[in-house]
A and B are shown apart, each in its own frame.
Chain A
Amino acid sequence: RKEVEQDPGPFNVPEGATVAFNCTYSNSASQSFFWYRQDCRKEPKLLMSVYSSGNEDGRFTAQLNRASQYISLLIRDSKLSDSATYLCVVYATNNNAGNMLTFGGGTRLMVKP
């Protein structure tokens, strides 16, 4: 089982739609959680951190369920510019390895006019 799993998609949605991505992680000792966005042929960039209480940034809402080891990202009123790959990222401190960032394989979103 992969440490961080995401549905690769692609999710093809019309402009204005609401779309949700899910992510599951296997390490119960994980401490921090993030969503990154990666545009084609570019480096990943931080979209938002994910907090236990859930957090919102404009059209984007992130949720964390520690009991189920599940993270979600909701995008409302999709824009063409939201087309990208969304990466779920989990951070843990491993006694042997120190700080460890683990990336999911990414979910590709394509927003159509």
Chain B
Amino acid sequence: ETGVTQTPRHLVMGMTNKKSLKCEQHLGHNAMYWYKQSAKKPLELMFVYNFKEQTENNSVPSRFSPECPNSSHLFLHLHTLQPEDSALYLCASSQEWGTAFFGQGTRLTVV
């Protein structure tokens, strides 16, 4: 256990559905990240939050909408996704010196 919890672990959704991914950390970290990892591809940074403020949006389509209500929680709201959005979505958190801990990820399948 790294102290970063993601739910759900697996999600299958239709292209017209709306769903949300949740990430929670109680490590006292002030930065949280969403990454996407497609099959056999490197990690792609999606969003960064520092002290609850979004500081990076890496040209992510608007069908992905992040929310950071407090420094311990991070959400990724999904709507009208495409099959190519099927991937492993990883949340991570880090403190000032950078050591990051990852959640176990949500494996998303869009049908």
Contacts and interface: CB of A to CB of B under 8 A. Distances in A.
Is the contact region of chain A dominated by helix, strand, or loop, or is it mixed? strand
Contacts of B103: 43
Interface residues of B, number: 29
Interface string A93-110: 000111111111110000
Q: Is the interface of B mostly helix, strand, loop or mixed?
A: strand
A34 B96 CA distance: 14
B21 interface: no
A49 to B, nearest CB: 7
B71 to A, nearest CB: 12
A91 B105 CA distance: 21
B28 interface: no
Given A103-B42, A103-B43, A98 B100 contact: no
Interface string A72-113: 000000000000000101010000111111111110000000
Contacts of B96: 99
B92 A101 contact: yes
A43 B42 contact: no
Contacts of A53: none
Interface string B20-43: 000000000011010100000011
B48 to A, nearest CB: 7
B94 A101 contact: yes
B102 to A, nearest CB: 4
Nearest to B95: A99
A98 B33 contact: no
B98 A87 contact: no
Contacts of B53: 98
Contacts of A46: 99-101
A14 interface: no
